[in-house]
Structure 1
Amino acid sequence: MSLIVFEDELWQRFATLVQARPVFELRIGGYTVRERIEATVRSLRRDETAALGMARPHLMKCFGPSTGLTAFLQAGEPVILINGRALDLAWLPRLLAEPLNTVYLAGDTLLAAYLSPALASAVLYFVQSQHTSDARDELLRFAQVHDLGPDEAPLLLGFPWDLINQSGEQLVRDLPLLEQRLPLLTTEMPNVVVRGERIYVDPRARLDGPLVLDARDGPIFIEAEAHIEPFSFLQGPAYIGRGSLISSARIRGETAIGPVCRIGGEVEASIIQGYSNKHHDGFLGHSWLGEWVNIGAMTTNSDLKNNYGNIRVSLEDLGQFDSGVIKLGMFLADHVKLGIGLLLNGGTMIGTGSNVFGSQNIPKNIPHFTWGGDTLREYRIDGMIGVTRTVMGRRKRALTSDYEALLRAAFELTRASRGAVAQAPVSRREYASPRALAQAEQEAIAG
């Protein structure tokens, strides 16, 4: 059986977050979407089925099979297609028991399908190009169809803020999968205060008291090689990824921290994809951070308006939306760097690879690959690649030629989004000279 997780047309709602990764590689709870699908299928089938990704062309070398469609079409096996925005997978055991050529819809959206090789080959080219509505229409002619409900959370992620709104509930839904490999903490540890019962800790994790693990409101999961330093407070539901450091921090409920992060200060109801640093004091609340993000000391985001009104968010190329929630922080895409002492409003969106510093109050929307503070301009891609190589090397990860090509492709694909911001002033009227900008860039890299 081939298991394929695909992007559909609505990846564009997540465009600020997914220029360097597919939608199905967004983290929520203890897994990314693809990881959760793979873990669920493996648990049900008791085998090592791999979930293969199908995404936009510039992402495929890093996130899809190296042979592209050939990997699927030559296998000659039944194919399971699952939407890369799928969240609550309670329906998946039923799909695996269905006869071949069964399709699950969520309203008008293709949620999943269990197909014969012949029927799969008829629609995979539509799926490959994110024309899944065409794939759906083709399947309606030949397959048995079941509608499972509307195209919205928790069945499917609909908007970026669903990642935050669903984080706590998803951590609870992930409990059956995570408890299969993380043992329940049953032994007393010196100077570790335990409240509640559902605390799961890999034996290779390091807990240095005094610290508090409070699972009364939800489970806590701590992966191998994670290090919880003294004077930390962890409140469930929460997930701490492999190799991450919690540096005397307050981690409040509904927070998921991916692998190899460095986290200090106060974090509440937030998701950190992985390999990112928020090592110093400052508040991070109801926010989503990608990989290779760095947040400077005392930088803080707001997640609540003074009038308790709903947070409005501008989505790239789609306009402004009412999120429908009163608590929402910021969204920082992969490779974003924030300087010290910045203040960010609720609903802030900062695109891939941007480096922002200097100006205390920054705009709510900063395009991909943008550089500056008082004045913003396009971040030179060679400079950004150089910083990325250095940052990844510090975590013993190599910048591969394929990933460098992905970043360069993302830079070109998003060039139009930068537009006039290349020289737009933020907090002062005059433009900075090119010499001043170059000097600021060198100082930031040296610092």
Structure 2
Amino acid sequence: MNYILFDGPARNALLPFTFTRPVAEIRVGILTIREKWEKHLGFTTSTVTENYLSDKFPMVEFEDNIMINASYLPTPKLVTQIKDLQPGQAIFNKDIPVAFYTKEGTAVDFEFYKIIQSETAPEHTIKHTWDIFTNNPGEIEADFDLLTKDKNSQELSSDNIIIGEHQVFIEDGAKVKVSILNTTEGPIYIGKNAEVMEGSMIRGPFALCGHATVKMGAKIYSGTTIGPYAKVGGEVSNSVIFGYSNKGHDGFLGNSVIGEWCNLGADTNTSNLKNNYASVRLWNYETGNFAKTGLQFCGLMMGDHSKCGINTMFNTGTVVGVSANIFGGGFPRNFIPSYSWGGSGGFTTYLTKKAFEVANVVMKRRNLEFTKQEEAILEQVFEQTQSWRKGYE
């Protein structure tokens, strides 16, 4: 069977992260949504996404295909339902399609489908940006079981202190030295060739993905994921940091999601709780306004390739787009459009030529190439986000 993950109606609600990736490439827990589905299904998958992303994330169609809404996370029950689908059958969650069986080149008309209802719990869906960090503790545990089943952990050095009954799993090549690992609330996963430097204090559930680094003396609270090749120091709580991003120094990051190739300058701090303890509102790209999240704790949402200078302070519930560069004193505003350059004193447009020069240098440092394909995607993001920069000179 051929499985295809499609973005679905949640795609716009997951901006700015879906400016540069399909929904399936969002990381929550240890794995991306795509990696979860492929492990559960036992097959590789392809993607239906925005046209400008399809060169990098193409769709592969066979004669028989099952389409899966990528904002839904796999559970054993849902996986079984999907594997059992027959031609002309679809699984819905209320009025939203979760999965359906289709033939190559055949138009989809759900009026003629046999509908199977699935009561998917909220903790198994990613329909808003904040769902990434709110669902992260449970997804770390689910992915931990998936990845460590029938495997043996590498031995943990005796100079570490372990507290709690949950497991610490160390993949090949990983190093953990002179640190305190508290598994009382959940497991701790240390990926291949990752490193936890001395003096770190970590509470599970926690995931450090392959080749990532926790720097000396870091304080990491429950529900945090550090993506592949990322580097993190200071204090982090219930946050997801995608691959290749750096928060290398002191400063607090809480209830936040940071995209790929981001850098938070030394002593950057995010507020995750309003002074009046009110519900946090976040910028909504669909309505062009701020909308309630229903959360008391919500910090920073930062799109790919964005950077901030030392001592940057982010207000509660700040959304930063793609390729923004933020610096200077004071609090910048709560919504910073893509390709913005500046801070609390105001912004100008960050021209693509300069932004791409930086991206090229940053990626070269990790022995990766800033390709024409990546450049084309970021050009499209620049064009799509011009309206938010209307007031810039």
Alignment partner of 2:56: what SS? helix
Q: Which residue of 2 aligns with 1:18?
A: 18
Q: Which residue of 1 aligns with 2:259?
A: 290
Kindly report which structure 2 residues correspond to 1:41-440, keeping only aligned pairs within 5 A, or say none: 41-42=41-42, 49-65=43-59, 71-72=60-61, 75-76=62-63, 78-90=64-76, 91-115=78-102, 117=103, 120-123=104-107, 135=108, 138-141=109-112, 143-149=113-119, 153-180=122-149, 183-184=152-153, 187=155, 189-196=157-164, 197-208=166-177, 210-248=178-216, 249-318=218-287, 319-373=289-343, 374-420=345-391, 422-423=392-393
1:206/1:227 contact within 8 Å kept: yes
Q: Which residue of 2 aligns with 1:9?
A: 9
Alignment partner of 1:204: what SS? coil
TM-score normalised by L of structure 1: 0.83
How much identity, in percent, do the aligned residues show? Answer: 28
Q: CA deviation at 1:419?
A: 1.3
Distance 2:251 2:119 in 1: 41
2:125/2:131 contact within 8 Å kept: no
Distance 2:286 2:349 in 1: 18
2:36/2:74 contact within 8 Å kept: no
CA distance 1:181–1:239, shift in 2 (3 Å): farther
**Over the residues paired in the alignment, what is the CA RMSD in angstroms?**
1.6
Alignment partner of 2:18: what SS? coil
Question: Which one-letter code corresponds to 2:98 in the other structure?
Answer: L
CA distance 1:251–1:183, shift in 2 (3 Å): farther
1:101/1:144 contact within 8 Å kept: yes
Which is further off, 348-357 or 26-35?
26-35
Q: Which has the higher helix share?
A: 1
2:235/2:253 contact within 8 Å kept: yes
- What is the number of residues matched between the two proteins? 388
Distance 1:239 1:6 in 2: 26
Task: List per-residue Cα deviations over 1:262-302 (Å, max 9, x = no partner).
Answer: 11001100000110000000000000000000000001001
Alignment partner of 1:160: what SS? coil
2:160/2:181 contact within 8 Å kept: yes
Q: CA deviation at 1:386?
A: 0.5
Which is further off, 352-361 or 286-295?
352-361
Which is further off, 330-339 or 396-405?
396-405
Distance 1:218 1:392 in 2: 34
CA distance 1:314–1:182, shift in 2 (3 Å): farther
Distance 2:331 2:208 in 1: 30
Task: List per-residue Cα deviations over 1:343-389 (Å, max 9, x = no partner).
Answer: 11111000000001113311100001111122201110010001000
2:254/2:299 contact within 8 Å kept: yes
Q: Which residue of 2 aligns with 1:443?
A: none
Question: Which one-letter code corresponds to 1:346 in the other structure?
Answer: T
Question: Which one-letter code corresponds to 1:149 in the other structure?
Answer: E
Q: CA deviation at 1:100?
A: 3.3
Q: CA deviation at 1:258?
A: 0.7
Distance 1:392 1:227 in 2: 21
Distance 1:41 1:108 in 2: 24
Alignment partner of 1:35: what SS? helix
1:238/1:255 contact within 8 Å kept: yes
Task: List per-residue Cα deviations over 1:204-234 (Å, max 9, x = no partner).
Answer: 10112x1011111001111101011000111
Task: List per-residue Cα deviations over 1:83-103 (Å, max 9, x = no partner).
Answer: 011124331123213433321
Q: CA deviation at 1:181?
A: 7.4
Question: Which one-letter code corresponds to 2:14 in the other structure?
Answer: F
Alignment partner of 2:39: what SS? helix
1:102/1:145 contact within 8 Å kept: yes
Q: CA deviation at 1:409?
A: 1.4
2:203/2:222 contact within 8 Å kept: yes
